[in-house]
Amino acid sequence: MTAIQSLSPQFLYSSASFAVKFSVKFTVSRCSLAPSPVTVANENAEKRPQERNEIRLGLPSKGRMAADTLDLLKDCQLSVKQVNPRQYVAEIPQIPNLEVWFQRPKDVVRKLGSGDLDLGIVGLDTVHEYGQGDEDLIIIHDALDFGDCRLSLAIPKYGIFENVNSIKDLAQMPQWTPERPLRVATGFTYMGPKFMKEVGLKYVTFSTADGALEAAPAMGIADAIVDLVSSGTTLRENNLKEIEGGVILESQAVLVASRKSLVQRKGVLDVTHEMLERFEAHLRASGQFTVTANMRGSSAEEVADRVLSQPSLSGLQGPTVSPVFSKGGGVLPDYYAIVICVPKRALYKSVQQLRAIGGSGVLVSPLTYIFDEETPRWRELLSKLGL
């Protein structure tokens, strides 16, 4: 396969007040294939769940997102069993009839749209960039607590941008004209132009670039970049800065599904419910500890009032107070056991407060799950589906 040329078609977006122009560079390749019968599907055909019995979950195939996804599933007792690490298909034994397919994140989104997958875990930025507003894609859980980043516009700290600190400042710069537009390098060729149009930047061209986008302004091939940012360290090390109003999207890992699969394919809604409940219970318990202690008091109410007087001891809904039974049988007079949940960051302070009000024999253990009577996200999903 040999690359033969690079094309830069120009696109012009216009409205009553402004025009946004951008270009996207493509690498065109050619290869020779032996003649063979090929059937080409119409990409514009109505999307519908494919004729199959198994339910398919798409997961990232490589990188940090892939590792964090597998860790989350394992923590939720949904370990992925992959016989051969080179295979792209696996299973989760706890959920019968569920196939796990390892794909590139953008392909997870595309195959959800085409009906080849039913569920997927990817970054929210990937859903927006490759879903491009597809109403069939529905976010089931929008905060899986990993893959945190933001899609942001960044410009140099130096030169003509030294005193530019906001999108408004950037838009008002006289340098940008139809003949000399703002040049932006990005891999987000859908969300980047869409954002620029929304914020009113009139003259902008977009180009794609492989590798580290942060080098593009220093090399003189772009004035700005639109890229994912985590800590911002890489931007600072390359003398780039984010500006006010320049964050396009706050992103993290999400559970996404095909609306048609949820409604039409047997078993998908039940699998979604189970996964959602496991995720919610685990994430709610993350960083929480159960604290148990014995305490003297004249009544359960008096002990509860004493505990609630301390700001770090209120727990999720309040303390559980119960009588303590002796080894020989019977209730120990004026002696109660209390159980509360406290976040990790407040653990030591909570233990100190318990001791200060007479707590003894303090036991601490991490929480694995906290199940609600019914997860709010499940109710939200049923409402979105009209069920």
Name the nearest CA neighbour of 122 among 133, 136, 111, 114.
111
- Residue 35 pLDDT: 36
pLDDT averaged over every residue in the chain: 86
Phi, psi of 176 (to 5 degrees): -90, 120
How far is the C-alpha of 89 from the C-alpha of 100, rounded, in Å?
6
- What are the structural domain ranges in the chain? 55-147+253-266, 149-250, 289-366
- Quick one: pLDDT at residue 328? 73
pLDDT of amino acid 258: 97
What does the pLDDT read at residue 22? 42
Mean pLDDT of 149-157: 97
Residue 37 has pLDDT above 70, yes or no: no
Report which of residues 72 and 10 the model is more confident about: 72
Which has the closest alpha carbon to 148: 119, 129, 123, 121?
Answer: 123
pLDDT value at 36 more than 50: no
Please determine, for residue 11, whether its predicted confidence score (pLDDT) is greater than 90.
no
CA distance linking residue 281 with residue 216, whole number of Å: 44
Pairing assessment for the beta strands 98-103 and 119-123 based on DSSP bridges: unpaired
How far apart, in whole angstroms, are the C-alpha atoms of residue 368 and residue 346?
18
Name the DSSP class of 345.
G
pLDDT of 82 > 50? The answer is yes
Full-prediction pTM beyond 0.85?
Answer: no
- Same CATH topology for 149-250 and 289-366? no
Task: Retrieve residue 318's tokens.
Answer: 């309040």
Has domain 149-250 been given CATH number 1.20.1070.10?
Answer: no
- What CATH topology corresponds to 289-366? Alpha-Beta Plaits (3.30.70)
Share of the chain above pLDDT 90, in %: 64
User: pLDDT over 70 for what percent of the chain?
Assistant: 87
Predicted local distance difference test score (pLDDT) of residue 195? 96
Confidence of residue 372 (pLDDT cuts 50, 70, 90): confident
C-alpha 233/C-alpha 1 separation (Å) is 37
Can you give the pLDDT at residue 17?
37
Cβ contact 187:228 at 8 Å: no
Residue 43 has pLDDT above 80, yes or no: no
Cβ atoms within 10 Å, residue 329:
6
- pLDDT at res. 73: 97
Distances (CA, A) of 78 to 71, 140, 190, 271, 338: 9, 17, 34, 12, 33
CATH class of the domain defined by 55-147+253-266: alpha beta
Q: State the pLDDT confidence band at 188, using cuts at 50, 70 and 90.
A: very high
Q: Give pLDDT tens digits for 280-305.
A: 999 999 989 999 999 988 889 999 89
Contact in structure between 123 and 150 (CB atoms under 8 Å): no
Answer yes or no: are the C-beta atoms of 209 and 222 closer than 8 Å.
Answer: yes
Distance CA 222, CA 216 (A): 5
C-alpha 317: how far from chain center:
28
Contact criterion met (CB below 8 Å) for 297 and 173: no
| Residue type (1 letter), 279 | F
Task: Write down the pLDDT at residue 33.
Answer: 31
